[in-house]
Amino acid sequence: MAFKILICDKIADEGIKLLEEKGYEVTKAWNMPKAELSKMAGEYDAFIVRSATKVNRALLANAKKLRVIGRSGEGLDNIDLEKAQELGVAVVNTPHVSYMSVAELTIGHLLALSRGIVEGTRSLREGKWVKDELMGVEINGKTLGIIGCGYIGKTVERLAISLGMKVIVVEECAFDRFVPLDKMLPQADFITVHVPLTPHTRHMISAKEFNMMKNGVMLIDCSRGGVVDQEALYQALVSGKVKAAAVDVFEEEPPRNSKLLTLRNVIATPHIGAQTQEAQLRASIQIAEKVIKALEETVS
C-alpha cells in the first residue's frame, strides 16, 4: 500500500530513502510555516516530527487518515498523547539514539563555564584583554550533581568521573548510590539536569531548590524547557547564588525576549543536544524503520 508520509521537521536523507524505497509518497514540509501543516494534515497516513512541530489537538483534528506519528528523538512532550490514543493513532519514537551527543554537549558546557571560554571569546572580539577577570576553577575534585540517571545521565556520570569529578546522582530508584534531591543540592559545585518534561518534573528546579544550593554553584540544563523554572534561574543568577549557567533548552523555543540571554554569566545553545551528524543519522534510520513497521501493522 502506498502510504503518504508528511515529514514536518528535517531528518537525514538516509531515513527518507528507506521510506521512498518502500514506495511511500513522501512530502518534505520542514521549510513550510507550521501553521500550514494543519491544512495538509488530512491527506497523510503518518507524520514524522522532531521537537519543532507541535502535534496538538488542532493538528490532529484535521488528520483524518492519520495512523502513525513518528518522533525522531526521545521526548514526546510536543505530542498530545492523550488525543492520539483517543484517535487510535500509534506513536513511535527513537529513545537513546542521541544520549552520547547530549552527554558530550553537557561536558562541553561544564568546561566552558568553569573556564570562562565564551566570555573570553566575546571579550577578545570586543577588543578587550580580560585575563585577570577570567579566573577559572578546575573541575577535577569538584562535585557534580546529576538529576536523572537514564542513558544520558549515566554517560555524563562516566565522563565526569574520567575527568576526576565526584558525582552524586539523584534518581527515584532504590539503589544505594542515588540520593534525594534535597541531599544533593547543598553539596554540588556543578549541577546538570537530565529528566524528561512531565507534569511531575515541570519546574522541579525552582526558587526553593536554588535556595538549597551551594553559593556559587554552576548549572547546566540540557534536558527540556520547563524542567528548570527559568525565571527563578534568572533571579538566582542576578543574586549571585548561581555563579553561571549553561542552557540548551528554553520554556519557549525559539526564545523571545528571554531575560536569561541578557546576562553575561549565561551561555546558551539553541537546543542542539542531539544535533550531531551521528545522532541524526541514527534517529533518521530508526524512525523510518519504526514508522514503516507501525504502518504495515495497521494493514496486517
Q: Which three cell numbers stand for residue 276?
A: 550531531
90-93: strand order across its sheet: 25-28, 4-7, 46-49, 68-71, 90-93
Beta carbons within 10 angstroms of residue 15's beta carbon: 26
Pair 61, 243: CB distance under 8 Å = no
CB atoms within 10 A of CB 90: 19
158: DSSP letter: H
Cell of 135: 579566573
d(CA 228, CA 195): 10
What is d(CA 68, CA 45) in angstroms, rounded to the nearest whole number? 7
* Coil vs helix vs strand at 97: coil
Q: Is 283 helix (H, G, I), strand (E, B) or coil?
A: helix
Contact assessment for residue 246 and residue 220, using Cβ atoms and an 8 Å cutoff: yes
CA 65 from centroid of its chain's CA atoms: 30
Catalytic residues: 224, 253, 271
Per DSSP, the three-state class of 59 is helix
